Structure 1
Amino acid sequence: MKALFIHDHYFVHDKVNDKYYDGSGGSFTKYMWDRYLSVFDELLVIGREKENLPNKLVISSSNNVGFVLIDDIKSSKDKILKYKIIKKKIKTEIEKVDFVISRLPSTLGFFAIDICKEINKPYLIEVVGCPFDAYWNYGGMLTKVIAPIQYFKLRNYVKKSENIIYVTQKFLQSRYPNKKQTIGISNVNLKEVQNVGSVLSFYNKSFETFNIGLIGSFHVKYKGHVEAIKALKYLVNKGQKNIRLNLVGTGDSGWLLDIIQELNLNQFVNIIGLLEAGEKGILPFLDKQHLYIHPSKQEGLPRVVIEAMSRGRLVLGASVAGVPELLSEKFLHKPGDWKKLANQIEYIYSSKYMWEKMIKENIEIALKYKEGILQEKRVSFFKKIMNERN
């Protein structure tokens, strides 16, 4: 059987070696496609095309996986002009497969569901985020007008569909309910969890610099970078001179550099940029941090928070989406509340007696998100759908 996966994710096609690369984020790799290939014989991926090669670290090409890329939609006018062409191209590909996996919210994903209903093709929806939070926190008045429109659109599509995978256990289910066949499965790809002993040996070492990590794309401004920098400035002004904020992410960080320079924080902030996912980049980075913070204003269930917990890191986060499913209330702050974040960082730093308990709790929670456990649930759900269809 052949399945089709569709989402607005960017991919880059290097025509020289005929390889496809993840164009934004680095999580769409062979390991992600293997999740579906354990159920289907072949997988066709439809996403958006990015012309430049910003990220050749992470390859997306894999055996039994094909790609069809759609020209990037850069504006509403562009979307209207290309609507028929795009939809026809997607329909042609959907007709060739047995099953469709539509990851929402995404423009291409919505197109795919319309087509599936039109030609009676079985499909499943993966709900990975809240468009209301994304648009509301993105920018100016226009995006705040779009936010409720996108909210009701996703709510309507989910309500009228039969098979839904949510990445959260509660949050997305409550905002975008479905009374038919649903399950909550995170899309984190967690292969191992650190043992408590090795983590404690790291924290028991003396250190001159208390490292704080934050991972989030620089091309969006709702990932909490500004709040993290304001919290850092507050702490530096109070005399905390041995802390450093280490930032990892894709996109142009120029706007952030301007803020850092304006606040005279150059010596306290390290912009690392892009790192490869997993054990070749992100995990070694996390292993060097004493604290991971995630002050993002919009999420589904943030994979990186689970990854940080799996490495036994101390973690603080904003109380958005599925984050409260991972962290207890005392380690949460309201989105945008940089002063509470600063106070929490200061409290964590000065409360070493709590570290061992926090480390053990985080590792225990992360164990529930190991890939083997999640994949067993995922395969079982897919097979149930296919058996009922047959």
Structure 2
Amino acid sequence: MTRANETSVRAHALRTPPSAPGPIRIFTEARLYDDGAGGVVALDRASSSGAWTSYVAHLEAVQLAARVGPANPRAHLPIGEIPIYRLPFFQGPRQLISRLPQVIKAVASSTSEARLCIFVLPGPLGSIGAAWCRVRRRRYAVEVIGDPVQVLRSGVIGPVGSHLAPVCGRLMTWLVGGAGAAHYVTEETLQRLYPPARHAHQHAFSNVDLSDTDFTPGPRRTPFPVRELIAVGTQDQLYKGHDDLIRAVALLSATHPDLRLTLVGDGRHSAELRALAVASGIADRVTFRGRVDSREELRRLLGRADLFCMPSRTEGLPRALIEAMARGVPCIGTTVGGIPELLPADLCVPPNDPVALASAMADFAEGTRDVTEVSRILWERAQRFRPDQQARRREQWLASVRRLAGLPVPR
């Protein structure tokens, strides 16, 4: 046994359950907002349909710990029936630093009252809470949804990210290694980077919650010209690579003037991206669709698209890509996070490389790629994300959570 494994096993053995039963508290990194009537609402679809919905359906006494901000006129999406433990609100690194003492105090207090805490990693609340539990030798579970090293090195918080990346990577390893149970959204990528303790319960399944209506009856069978491109993702940060996608379309503007791009999503970088489209001379070829909350509308947009593009700089296992695959849309992406687990290697390009991205897009636009064959391959790969396939794995994870919390497991 290696020294690292020995340390993890020893720490795992020393942890003790809470002295008194309390709620199972799930910590989310989603930003929620007061609805003015004593409840909370979400700003976007991803935040309103979090993974906590399965906990509510299968576990007793579940609470959601979240940062809750003042009423926001843009936030109106309900989050479902779940009690909320309100944590201090912050948005972005600067606000977090300015409110760090209050956040640490609130998170520490919330963990002491819980039977079991489940933290999402990476993320500030998850990192603070998991560190507190590990130091206090309290049992906890983690959901591992991404790689902080990749996030920081992607440049989303500027040059300082490269200096913080190694430290955050070591912290993430320590936090995951101290958990009694770990759920990974990838099959092997994140497990290899951040392995669990030797005796921890380990599970792998996507936290993407699709319904049967999100799947088309089959892949696209009729050859079609590739003219309409689409990308879906937040523009709060630039890690979705929408700027690289605009640059790639601009590179092809002379040879492929009929290419059109639709960007779905919004955020604080939206104006910057619009300005980039203007400066690149392709403002008339880029449609900024804004945020789309309706699943039906998103399915309609995907149905009109010829090629889905995900030029991300960092990812876990991207929901938007899986949704496109389920609709039979040909896709290309970058070699980050769990994307290579979804797409064949020849459909992936390096991140931060508009030239390589443009080349991959040109292969489709010029008919070099067999679009019906790509549609078939990706649609078939998406079948493992059907509700019945995911439900079985999720039930196994929930059983591990119950055991860790000292609750009986239904037979």
Same fold (TM over 0.5): yes
Q: Which residue of 1 aligns with 2:409?
A: none
Query: What is the CA–CA distance in structure 2 between the aligned matches of 1:30 and 1:229, rounded to whole Å?
Result: 29
Separation in 1, partners of 2:400, 2:113: 22
Superposed CA deviations along residues 178-210 of structure 1, whole A, max 9, x for unmatched, are: 23321211111111221126x44xx56x77x82
1:141 is displaced (CA, Å) by 2.1
Query: Which string of whole-angstrom CA distances, capped at 9 and with x for unpartnered residues, describes residues 105-159 of structure 1?
Result: 1121122223434665432100111111111112432121112221111111112
Q: How does 1:33-44 map to 2 (within 5 A)?
A: 33-44=52-63
Match status 1:22 vs 2:29: no
Residues in 2 aligned to 1:147 and 1:107: alpha-carbon distance in whole angstroms:
14
- Counterparts of 1:320 and 1:54, CA distance in 2: 35
SS at match of 2:51: helix
Unaligned runs of 5+ in 2: 1-21, 407-411
Give the partner amino acid of 1:190.
L
* Equivalent residue, structure 2, for 1:181: 201
Q: Choose which of 200, 203, 217 in structure 2 pairs with 1:195.
A: 217
* 1:79 Cα deviation from its structure 2 partner: 4.8
Matched, 1:232 2:249: yes
Contact 2:131/2:175 (CA < 8 Å) preserved in 1? no
1:274 matched to 2:281: no
Q: How does 1:113-192 map to 2 (within 5 A)?
A: 113-117=130-134, 121-137=138-154, 138-178=156-196, 179=198, 180-192=200-212
1:185–1:377 CA contact under 8 A, matched in 2: yes
- Select which of 126, 132, 136 maps to 1:109: 126
Percent identity over the alignment?
A: 21
Instruction: Give the whole-Å Cα distance in 2 for the aligned partners of 1:232 and 1:168.
Output: 30
Please tell me the root mean square deviation across aligned C-alpha atoms, in Å.
2.4
Aligned partners of 1:134, 1:267: CA distance in 2, in Å?
Answer: 32
Matched, 1:7 2:28: yes
Contact 1:275/1:281 (8 A) holds in 2: yes
Instruction: Give the aligned partner of residue 3 of structure 2.
Output: none
Checking the alignment, whether the CA contact within 8 Å between 1:246 and 1:271 is kept in structure 2 is yes
Give me the whole-angstrom Cα distance separating, in 2, the residues matched to 1:26 and 1:336: 27
Instruction: Provide the residue aligned with 2:51 in structure 1.
Output: 32
Q: 2:334–2:350: 8 Å Cα contact kept in structure 1? A: yes
Mean alpha-carbon deviation: is it higher for 225-234 or for 178-187?
178-187
Alignment pair present for 1:45 and 2:67 = no
1:223 to 227, 233, 240: 240
Q: Describe the shift of the 1:342–1:265 C-alpha distance in structure 2 as closer, same or farther (beyond 3 A).
A: same
CA offset digits 1:16-62 (Å, max 9, x no partner):
x3342223x421335733211232123321222344526435322x2
Structure 1: distance between partners of 2:75 and 2:397: 34
Pairing partner for 1:324 from 320, 327, 340: 340
Whole-Å Cα distance in 2 between the matches of residues 75 and 131 of structure 1? 14
Distance 1:314 1:75, change over 3 A: closer
CA distance in 2 between counterparts of 1:153 and 1:37 reads 30
Q: Secondary structure at the match of 2:381?
A: helix
CA distance in 2, matches of 1:49, 1:34: 18
The separation in 1 between residues aligned to 2:275 and 2:91, in whole angstroms, is 29
Question: What is the number of equivalent residue pairs in this alignment?
Answer: 379
5+ unaligned residues in a row in structure 1: which ranges? none
Match of 2:259 in 1: 243
Distance in 1 (alpha carbons) for counterparts of 2:361 and 2:100: 48
Q: What is the rounded CA distance, in whole Å, between the counterparts of 2:38 and 2:298 in structure 1?
A: 27
Q: TM-score, normalised by structure 2?
A: 0.85
Q: Tell me the residue number matched to 1:59.
A: 78
| Mean Cα deviation higher: 107-116 or 311-320 | 107-116
Cα distance in 2, alignment partners of residues 217 and 325 from structure 1: 22
What's the counterpart of residue 107 of structure 2?
Answer: 90
Q: Deviations over 1:284-341 (max 9, x none)?
A: 2222211100000101111111111001100000011111101111111011221121
Aligned AA (1:128)? I
Match of 1:351 in 2: 367
Give the corresponding residue for 2:327.
Answer: 311
